[in-house]
């Protein structure tokens, strides 16, 4: 927010996906910009900034006043060619050379507030300053943009201000996600469905509206590796799922037919009747192995999050029934169950087993060419 107005006036959206911008162009400043700063007591710096407006609108490009954990500084910037007309503003007090001031929008605070107010209505916000971790004021004409970061909620109900954004504390799931979309490039679910709601970004978006129930993830961790702000996305998802669970003494077993090799069916694959039949036929008829079945009766959240009670139940079942191998139908179940059981028993994904067998058969074949 500066001489040119709001930043959005200088941005053009070149490409978007489902209303999320993925390619932007920004109008570039062509002139050489000079930045200067002055440190000091916040009230004195504010009076200095307001004094710039006593004779009309000053010819600065940016005027920004920052307060951060007890320290304050005023930063001004302007095109170098304007320096002669700014002598009366800059040389009545001491300013040092500076770098441009950028908002600390990625600081980890539970409460964030962004909005606009006027010079006349600034007093209420200033009274709150000592309670804040961070306060930024950006000036233009008779309008001031403010950014507030705090560890405690801030009551702005009495402030005459246009609040454009306010987080809701610990429940604000977009606290850290910057919606850059890099996780989409590596998410297998997004590749398969082409729907953002089935990606890790979708999780963050959906949780804001308490709609995580339609989110699906196998917690593969690829998104963690590419996140530019180093979010532990998998752990965030797992913690969220655990927080939704309730203590239960109810049995997890829907149906159990014991055998050394067991086909595990969860709510993820329960409706895939064709796949269950094909898998059973392959193991019993083609592989000629006795096959048991274990149908889990539990919420999908328990499986995804690694519920300790479910892990104990599965481990105990494997040990008591002397199960040597568990077969899963979907890659998601393979990932979740392997994590739940760790190294207790062999966990296999049926499609990988079939592919490996096909590869092994092809490797046995030998071709002999006779040259005459």
pLDDT score of 164: 75
Residue-by-residue DSSP string for 40-63? E-HHHHHHHHHHTTTTSS-S-SEE
pLDDT score of 214: 54
Range 253-358 has CATH code 3.40.50: yes
pLDDT score of 251: 59
pLDDT score of 233: 84
Q: What is the pLDDT of residues 92-133, one digit of tens each?
A: 778 888 877 666 554 456 688 888 888 887 888 788 888 888
> Which CATH number does the domain 7-173 belong to among 1.10.760, 1.20.950, 3.40.462, 3.30.420?
3.40.462
Pairing between strand 143-150 and 261-265? unpaired
* Of 210 and 149, the one with more pLDDT: 149
Q: What is the pLDDT of residues 28-59, one digit of tens each?
A: 777 888 899 999 999 999 999 988 888 888 88
Q: pTM of the prediction?
A: 0.46
Domain boundaries, the chain: 7-173, 176-243, 253-358
Q: What is the pLDDT of residues 143-157, one digit of tens each?
A: 888 888 888 888 777
Q: What is the pLDDT of residues 265-321, one digit of tens each?
A: 988 888 888 888 888 888 888 888 888 888 888 877 778 777 888 888 889 888 888
> Residue 173 — very low, low, confident or very high, per pLDDT cuts 50/70/90?
very low
CA distance 37 to 54: 20
Residue-by-residue DSSP string for 144-211? EEEEEEESS----TTS--EEEEE--GGG-GGGT-----HHHHH-HHHHHH--GGGSHHHHHHHHHTT-
The strands making up 162-166's β-sheet, listed across from edge to edge, are 96-97, 33-40, 71-79, 62-68, 134-140, 143-150, 111-118, 162-166
Q: Establish whether domains 7-173 and 253-358 are of one fold.
A: no
Q: What is the pLDDT of residues 215-271, one digit of tens each?
A: 667 777 888 888 887 788 888 777 766 665 554 545 576 678 888 899 989 888 888
């Amino acid at each position: 927010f500066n001489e040119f107005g709001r930043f959005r006036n200088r941005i053009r959206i070149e490409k978007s996906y489902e209303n999320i911008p993925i390619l932007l162009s920004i109008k570039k400043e062509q002139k050489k910009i000079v930045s200067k700063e002055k440190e000091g007591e916040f009230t004195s710096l504010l009076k200095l900034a307001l004094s710039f407006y006593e004779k009309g609108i000053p010819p600065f490009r940016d005027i920004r006043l920052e307060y951060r954990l007890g320290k304050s500084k005023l930063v001004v910037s302007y095109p170098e060619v304007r320096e002669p007309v700014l002598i009366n503003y800059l040389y009545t007090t001491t300013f040092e050379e500076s770098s441009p001031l950028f908002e600390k929008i990625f600081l980890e605070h539970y409460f964030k507030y962004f909005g606009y107010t006027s010079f006349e209505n600034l007093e209420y916000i200033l009274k709150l300053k000592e309670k804040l971790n961070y306060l930024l004021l950006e000036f233009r004409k008779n309008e001031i943009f403010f950014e507030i970061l705090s560890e405690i909620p801030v009551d702005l109900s009495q402030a005459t201000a246009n609040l454009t954004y306010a987080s809701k504390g610990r429940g604000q799931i977009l606290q850290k996600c910057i919606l850059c979309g890099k996780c989409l490039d590596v998410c297998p679910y997004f590749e398969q469905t082409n729907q953002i709601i089935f990606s890790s970004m979708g999780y963050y978006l959906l949780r804001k509206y308490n709609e995580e129930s339609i989110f699906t993830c196998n917690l593969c961790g690829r998104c963690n590796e590419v996140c530019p702000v180093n979010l532990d996305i998998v752990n965030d998802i797992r913690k969220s799922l655990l927080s939704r669970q309730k203590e239960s003494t109810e049995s997890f077993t829907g149906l159990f037919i014991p055998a050394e090799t067991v086909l595990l069916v969860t709510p993820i694959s329960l409706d895939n009747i064709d796949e269950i039949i094909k898998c059973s036929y392959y193991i019993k008829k083609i592989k000629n192995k006795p096959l048991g079945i274990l149908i889990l009766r539990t919420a999908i959240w328990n499986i995804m999050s690694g519920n300790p009670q479910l892990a104990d139940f599965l481990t105990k079942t494997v040990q008591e029934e002397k199960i040597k191998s568990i077969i899963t139908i979907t890659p998601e179940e393979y990932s979740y169950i392997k994590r739940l059981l760790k190294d207790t028993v062999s966990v296999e994904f049926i499609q990988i087993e079939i592919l490996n067998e096909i590869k092994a058969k092809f490797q046995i074949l030998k071709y002999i060419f006779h040259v005459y």
